[in-house]
């Protein structure tokens, strides 16, 4: 058996196949997933000279003893294939998802078209596209444009997944009834870890976590296909170049599933809030307002549910994102506190406070206030 956690093992694994490599470059790797760029010995029939390969391993996660189930490789491939065939985007679209070429279920390895060398969205929001810092006005305009494009795409994706012709896709995930519960349990466990770290224990948090895990076992009528780990961290951007406009890539669908639409918007909102509290704490940064206004053209979200999903991710994971590394502990505590506040509103079913929250208000502002 090949060691697919190393470039050398990938090289051997591909030998003699249509993906035989002249070089293998490691792009990212951890304990459970490894991504490589493969320089092909011979171009594919479609002309590609490179492909990207993502290999999944089964390992025990550090939280709750939960195993990183290899089914997530199947889930990502199924979701990516469906989205690629959906008509939601083409090669000229601003927002796209990775397009799979082939899946080796035996080794849990997905072959995908190469996206090139896009850069993390957080880096773009911080500095723009230039190596040097862009003027604040340019960065703000760029943040608004990106937020609007992503909000529009996610709204269209969610609506598309509810159509009758997506019954096969829904049926696939319906056969995995425990998957949503497992993912919610893992995300919720970060609340406890954050409460320990920042001394933010409240009597009601355990009850809230239990409620969230219980509700995750119930299939709601408005469930949609969610990417499941939708954040700035998993969003990449290719700068505009001669003959091509900016491209935004929503990547990493390992925890894709059918769940409430608030999942994607809550996670993306939480990651953006974490970033903004650290880098733009004293200004109304336009990414989240543009994201929310664009999304609500397509769907209306439940205040309690979006408060819970945003609060869970913001309190639990907000202080852990890459842009939070080496930041002052007091700054990180503010992120956790902001998430805790949303969770408390959700626990108390305080919809008025959720609708007026600075983090969520643009999802619920009157229609005539929208000005994108």
Give the pairing type, strands 95-96 and 247-250.
Answer: parallel
Radius of gyration for the alpha carbons in the chain, expressed in angstroms and rounded: 21
Q: What are the domain boundaries of the chain?
A: 1-114, 115-372
Using CA atoms, how far apart are residues 51 and 44, in angstroms rounded to an integer?
9
Global pTM value: 0.93
Q: What angle do CA 350, 347, 227 make, to 5 degrees?
A: 100
pLDDT means over runs of 10, the chain (372 residues): 91 97 90 91 96 85 53 94 97 97 96 95 89 69 96 99 96 88 91 97 93 83 92 95 92 94 98 97 91 97 97 98 96 98 97 97 73 42
What CATH number does domain 115-372 carry, 2.40.128, 1.20.1740, 3.90.1200, 3.30.1330?
A: 3.90.1200
Percent pLDDT > 70 in the chain is 93
E strands, the chain, are 21-29, 33-40, 50-56, 95-96, 100-104, 109-113, 119-120, 224-226, 235-238, 247-250, 257-259
- Would you tell me how many other CB atoms lie within 10 Å of the CB of residue 215? 15
The answer to whether the CB of 350 falls within 8 A of the CB of 360 is no
Using CA atoms, how far apart are residues 38 and 10, in angstroms rounded to an integer?
9
What CATH number does domain 1-114 carry, 3.30.1490.20, 3.30.200.20, 3.40.50.720, 3.30.420.280?
A: 3.30.200.20
Would you state the pLDDT for residue 263?
97
Distances (CA, A) of 113 to 15, 82, 227: 19, 15, 19
What tokens appear for 300 in the block?
A: 């209306």
- Would you tell me how many other CB atoms lie within 10 Å of the CB of residue 172? 15
Would you state the pLDDT for residue 371?
45
Give the pairing type, strands 100-104 and 109-113.
Answer: antiparallel
């Amino acid at each position: 058996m090949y060691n697919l956690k190393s470039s050398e093992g990938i090289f051997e694994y591909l030998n003699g196949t249509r993906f035989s490599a002249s070089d293998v470059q490691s792009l990212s790797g951890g304990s459970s997933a490894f991504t490589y760029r493969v320089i092909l010995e011979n171009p594919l029939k479609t002309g590609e000279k490179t492909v990207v390969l993502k290999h999944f391993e089964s390992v025990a996660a550090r939280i709750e003893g939960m195993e990183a189930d290899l089914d997530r490789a199947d889930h990502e491939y199924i979701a990516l294939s469906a989205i690629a065939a959906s008509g939601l985007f083409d090669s000229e679209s601003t927002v796209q998802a990775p397009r799979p070429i082939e899946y080796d279920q035996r080794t849990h390895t997905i072959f995908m078209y190469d996206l090139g060398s896009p850069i993390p969205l957080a880096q773009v929001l911080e500095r723009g596209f230039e190596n040097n810092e862009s003027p604040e006005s340019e960065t703000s305009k760029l943040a608004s444009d990106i937020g609007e494009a992503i909000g529009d795409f996610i709204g269209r994706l969610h609506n598309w997944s509810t159509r009758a012709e997506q019954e096969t896709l829904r049926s696939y995930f319906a056969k995995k009834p425990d998957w949503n519960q497992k993912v919610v349990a893992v995300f919720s466990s970060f609340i406890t870890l954050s409460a320990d770290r920042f001394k933010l224990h409240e009597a009601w948090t355990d009850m809230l976590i239990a409620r969230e895990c219980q509700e995750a076992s119930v299939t709601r009528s408005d469930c949609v296909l969610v990417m499941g780990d939708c954040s700035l961290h998993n969003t990449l951007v290719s700068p505009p170049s001669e003959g091509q406009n900016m491209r935004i890539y929503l990547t990493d669908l390992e925890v894709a599933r059918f769940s409430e639409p608030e999942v994607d918007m809550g996670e993306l909102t939480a990651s953006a809030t974490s970033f903004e509290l650290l880098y733009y704490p004293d200004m109304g940064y336009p990414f989240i307002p543009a994201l929310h206004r664009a999304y609500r053209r397509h769907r209306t979200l439940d205040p309690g549910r979006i408060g819970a999903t945003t609060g869970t991710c913001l309190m639990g994971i907000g202080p852990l994102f890459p842009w939070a590394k080496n930041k002052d502990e007091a700054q990180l505590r503010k992120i956790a506190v902001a998430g805790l506040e949303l969770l408390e509103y959700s626990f108390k079913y305080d919809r008025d406070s959720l609708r007026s929250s600075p983090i969520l208000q643009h999802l619920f502002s009157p229609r005539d206030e929208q000005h994108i």
